[in-house]
Structure 1
Amino acid sequence: MEPLIASRHGSVSLRLVKPRDARILQQELLSNRSWLSPWEATLPGGPVSFDMRSGVRRLLQQYREGAGVPFVMEYDGEIAGQLNIWGVARGSLASATIGYWVSERVAGRGITTIGVALATDIAFTQLRLHRMEICIRPENHPSRRVVEKLGFRYEGLRRRYIHIDGDWRDHYAYALTTEDVPRGVLNRYLLGAVPPGAATVPPADRIGPA
């Protein structure tokens, strides 16, 4: 995979993760346990690992193989979280999925919204993908607000889809294709041109409070 140019808007920037980031990322994960653990992927029957040195090495190996792109999100030049493009499929599918987390100390500042917009624009332009998907637990209202603000289209309920916080959890699936955003995700968001209601979950799929 060709090297990617770091992307930035205002105080928020994305760049490829580096091995030296492992220490800071590990500190953030350990200090944000109550904030992050309800949304973290887990291994059925396996322990949760906080060894970010091996984690970063694994992510960079996937990047070299073209299977994903691991970013750190920065806010005012300091690491605020991670955002990964993973499950990259080429050929006739040309799609991928985004996953992310942000530190509680900087939550509510729009970092994830801008980060997801920047990453999706990178996927559509530099990676030349056609479709980007985000899957979110119904209970994760802050993440659902991100896709609402960016106009990701609701595409369905996936039952017991990903092992999260020790069990198989239902997820809502959202997506965008290049045809949805001919001038870019971030540009559409900044111009206030996001179509209303794209991320609305139909009554038949709703789980718990709307």
Structure 2
Amino acid sequence: MPHVWPLHLRDGALLLRPLRRRDRREYLALRLRNQEWLAPWDATDPLRGAQRPSFPVLVRWNDRQSRLLLGLHLAIEWDGQLAGQISLGPIQQGAQSTATLGYWVDRDHAGQGIAPLACALLIDHAFAELGLHRVDAAIRPENAASRRVVEKLHLREEGLHRRFIHVDGQWRDHLLFALTAEEVPAHLLDDTGRGVVRRLRLEHRIPPPRGRVATS
């Protein structure tokens, strides 16, 4: 199906949607509250350090990247409150047909299964709606919580990349994990071609949401 933007992916209490200008106060408070929690894992610019763009610039950049399908950048909303962010990008189409997954979740919401469900929902969208072949994720070896997320979704570990991404002020080693569309068992695919969320629910006994997963 053609790429739709703005994009909304819903599964029960979970909603993935674009950041909006009216999110400014809530988003900045969320980042401030999680500053120490996220610092060891946040990518940094080797030329500008940890300096982050202003919120209006961030919203405009996210919107442009997502509208042009250079990447998808979405807020994670849980039960009506901002709880983190998730991204898929850069998106490489054509012969590679791949994208890189990134995510973070509010410390107060950690351990509630929000990150695996958000990742599963976006991976299903990448495979079923965008027609991508592969999704990968680069994770610092020390980040046990993030590794558990991708392991729950059956992303394979593909090896260690030395000094791969500039994080927390230094070039850091990262483990690469990946999943291809063919690795999602065909018997788990629903009538829309989604299967990653369904496998997650079955294996971890997560009750289904009320109603169907919604996409717009």
SS for the counterpart of 2:39 is helix
Q: For structure 2, list consecutive stretches of 5 or more residues without a partner in the other structure.
A: 190-194, 205-216
1:99 CA displacement: 0.7
Residue in structure 2 matching 1:18, options 17, 20, 30: 20
Query: 1: CA distance between counterparts of 2:196 and 2:98?
Result: 16
Within the alignment, does 1:154 sit opposite 2:157 as a pair? yes
Within the alignment, does 1:109 sit opposite 2:112 as a pair? yes
Query: 1: CA distance between counterparts of 2:6 and 2:98?
Result: 17
Query: 1: CA distance between counterparts of 2:23 and 2:155?
Result: 30
SS for the counterpart of 1:79 is strand
Q: 1:130-141 residue pairs with structure 2 within 5 A? A: 130-141=133-144
Q: Which has the higher contact order (CA 8 A, sep 6+)?
A: 2
Q: For structure 1, list consecutive stretches of 5 or more residues without a partner in the other structure.
A: 194-210
**Deviation by residue 1:156-179 (Cα, 9 ceiling, x = unmatched):** 111100000000000001111110
Please say if residues 150 and 189 of structure 1, whose CA atoms lie closer than 8 Å, have aligned partners that are also in contact: yes
Task: Normalising by structure 1, report the TM-score.
Answer: 0.87
Query: 2: CA distance between counterparts of 1:124 and 1:36?
Result: 29
What's the C-alpha RMSD, in Å, of the aligned pairs?
1.6
Residue in structure 2 matching 1:51, options 41, 54, 69: 54
1:91 aligns with: 94
1:11 CA displacement: 2.2
SS for the counterpart of 2:87 is strand
SS for the counterpart of 2:66 is helix
1:25 CA displacement: 1.7
Paired amino acid for 2:203 = G
Paired amino acid for 1:25 = Y
SS for the counterpart of 2:172 is strand
Query: 1: CA distance between counterparts of 2:73 and 2:23?
Result: 12
Task: Normalising by structure 2, report the TM-score.
Answer: 0.84
Paired amino acid for 1:141 = A
SS for the counterpart of 1:38 is coil
Query: 2: CA distance between counterparts of 1:151 and 1:140?
Result: 17
SS for the counterpart of 2:40 is helix
1:42 aligns with: 44
Paired amino acid for 1:143 = S
Query: 2: CA distance between counterparts of 1:10 and 1:66?
Result: 26
